[in-house]
Amino acid sequence: MALAIFVDGAYAAKLAEQRFGVWVDYDKLGTHVTQELASAEGGTILRLRTYFYDALPYQGTPPTLDEAARLGRKRSFFAALAKLPKFKVREGRTVRRETADGNSPITRRAST
């Protein structure tokens, strides 16, 4: 049996941090999921790839120092993930939306 794993990076990171107070080792997570499924199925599982979906943080024009720093950290993280065997990072984009009621603008990840 072949397996592809799909990870919502923003959700996984927020859940791990807020609910469990941990950092996720995505390479170990992929290996663990593959082993658990192989054990449950009683056979060998071939992990084809782990797809990691997330968006780079919003950047204003010009970006603030904080925005630039967050972008650099996220790009470094994506580069590290991309070096893992059988990993593919899928980048989305983040856009700024003005609120209709005049409150502060919000940023959202946009579908690509």
Tell me the C-alpha to C-alpha distance, in Å, between residue 44 and each of 4, 36, 37: 14, 11, 9
Residue 48: CB partners within 8 Å, gap ≥ 6? Answer: 2, 3, 4, 86
Q: Which two tokens stand for residue 49?
A: 């790839």
Sheet of 2-8: strand order equals: 2-8, 46-55, 87-97, 106-110
What pLDDT is attached to residue 103?
67
What pLDDT is attached to residue 1?
87
Question: Sign (positive/negative) of CA torsion 28, 31, 34, 38?
Answer: negative
Contact call for residues 94 and 58 (beta carbons, < 8 A): yes
Q: What is this structure's pTM?
A: 0.80
Can you list the residues of the chain whose pLDDT is less than 70? 100, 102-112
What pLDDT is attached to residue 96?
75
Question: Three-state SS for 17?
Answer: helix
What pLDDT is attached to residue 60?
87
What pLDDT is attached to residue 105?
61
What pLDDT is attached to residue 17?
87
DSSP 82-97: HTSTTEEEEEEEEEEE
In 23-63, which residue ranges form alpha helices assigned H by DSSP? 26-41
What pLDDT is attached to residue 109?
61
